[in-house]
């Protein structure tokens, strides 16, 4: 079976430091697929490369059988990949609803000229976009906050605003970069439920996360990166009992000597 996302031989280095080296993995459709590893293992570099923010030095990324390598981020997004960010990238100059409406950009067509003249087709599309945004908000349990300026909301809520915004583009694969970072236990629980519901709705999730409890509970498969290379791959149970992973990351006698 071919995966939804296939990554082969991916390599990226910055000034001689290899952030990614020969990374292979395959994300099947309909799963939550987690990428874990110590800080500096290359997880965020991997995300940025998948999205087209970095061009890989070597290797390829295929999504639904089509090559993504070398495409600009907005083109990658148009192919059906969306993401959330480790450091919030919320549009703080907009309301929650408007943030999510931006997420509908790819599903709507109106150009500058039609918008300027407010043609009837524009009004129709605006109504439609608003509805889509409401659906995404409701899905993430944010509809009661729709008219709040994003700048006035707490961190935990903004994390979910990013998820709603990404979902509004109706992706086939959602990349989530540390969705639970900075969340308290209640919020983390909510986020876990949300990730599961996203997956159940047919959107595959590629997850980078440091909260191991969350990762092990929510993921179908786990990839472990260390120093930019794949250390192990398997089901949460396999990963948890993998000697190398325990030594390198999950906590055994070895601790990070540097950093």
Partner 1 sequence: MSRSPHAAPTAQGGPTLRRGGTGSRLTGLLLLAAVVVALPLLFPKNYFVTVVGVAVGFHAILAVALNLLIGYAGQISLGHAAFFGLGAYTSAILTTRYDWSPLLAMLAGLAGVLVVASLISRPILRLKGHYLAMATLGFGIIVHIVMVQAVVLTGGPDGLSGVPGLSLLGWGLKTDLHWYWVVAGVVLAVVWLSLNIVDSRTGRALRAVHGSEFAAEMMGIDTTRTKAQVFVLSALISAFAGSLFAHQQGFVSPDSFSFFVSIELVTMVVLGGMASTYGAVFGAVALTLLKAGLVVFHDYEMVILGAILMIVMIFLPQGLFVGLARGLRLALPRRRERPATSGDRIA
Task: Name the residues that contact partner 1, by CB under 8 A.
Answer: 51, 53, 72-74, 77-78, 82-83, 85, 89-95, 97-98, 101-103, 105-106, 108-112, 115-118, 122, 125-127, 129-131, 133-135, 138, 143-149, 162, 165-166, 169
Cβ neighbours of residue 31 closer than 8 Å, sequence gap 6 or more: 199, 204, 205, 219, 220, 221
- The partner residues of 18 in beta bridges, in order of sequence, read 13
Closer by beta carbon to partner 1, 94 or else 212:
94
Residue from 34, 7, 35, 36 nearest 23 by CA: 7
Residue 224 CB, nearest approach to partner 1 (Å): 26
| Cβ at position 210, least distance to partner 1 in Å | 21
Question: Collapsing DSSP states into helix, strand and coil, what is residue 19?
Answer: strand
User: Whole-number minimum distance, CB 88 to partner 1, in Å?
Assistant: 9
Give whichever of 98 and 209 is closer to partner 1, judged by the CB atom. Answer: 98
159 or 221: CB nearest partner 1 = 159
Q: How far is the CB of 55 from partner 1 (least distance, A)?
A: 14
86 or 240: CB nearest partner 1? 86
Output phi, psi for 71, to 5 deg: -85, 150
Residue 129 Cβ, how far from partner 1 at the closest point, in Å? Answer: 7
Instruction: Say if CB 221 and CB 235 are below 8 A apart.
Output: yes
Q: Which is nearer to partner 1, 138 or 237 (CB)?
A: 138
Least separation in angstroms between CB 84 and partner 1: 9
> Between residues 55 and 254, which has the closer beta carbon with respect to partner 1?
55
Helices (H), 41-184: 43-51, 73-78, 96-103, 112-117, 120-139, 155-168
**DSSP for 170-218?**
--SEEEEESTTTT--HHHHHHHHHHHHHHHHTT-EEEEE-S-HHHHHHH
Cα 257 to chain center, whole Å? 30
């Amino acid at each position: 079976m071919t995966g939804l996302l296939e990554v082969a031989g991916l390599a990226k280095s910055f000034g001689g430091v290899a952030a990614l080296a020969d990374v292979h993995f395959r994300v099947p459709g309909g799963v939550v697929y987690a990428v874990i590893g110590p800080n500096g293992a290359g997880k965020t570099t991997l995300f940025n490369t998948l999205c087209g923010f970095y061009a890989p030095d070597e290797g390829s990324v295929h999504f639904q059988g089509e090559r993504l390598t070398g495409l600009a981020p907005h083109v990658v997004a148009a192919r059906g990949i969306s993401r959330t960010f480790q450091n919030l990238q919320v549009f703080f100059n907009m309301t929650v609803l408007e943030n999510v409406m931006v997420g509908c950009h790819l599903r709507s067509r109106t150009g500058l000229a039609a918008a300027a003249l407010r043609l009837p087709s524009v009004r129709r599309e605006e109504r439609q976009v608003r509805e889509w945004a409401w659906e995404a908000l409701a899905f993430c349990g944010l509809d009661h906050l729709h008219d709040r300026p994003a700048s006035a909301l707490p961190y935990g809520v903004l994390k979910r605003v990013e998820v709603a915004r990404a979902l509004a583009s109706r992706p086939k694969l959602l990349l989530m970069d540390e969705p639970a970072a900075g969340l308290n236990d209640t919020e983390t629980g909510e986020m876990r439920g949300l990730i599961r519901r996203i997956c159940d709705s047919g959107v595959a999730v590629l997850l980078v996360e440091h909260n191991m409890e969350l990762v092990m509970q929510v993921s179908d498969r786990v990839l472990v990166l260390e120093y930019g290379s794949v250390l192990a791959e398997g089901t949460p149970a396999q990963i948890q009992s993998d000697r190398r992973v325990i030594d390198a990351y999950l906590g055994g006698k070895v601790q990070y000597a540097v950093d």
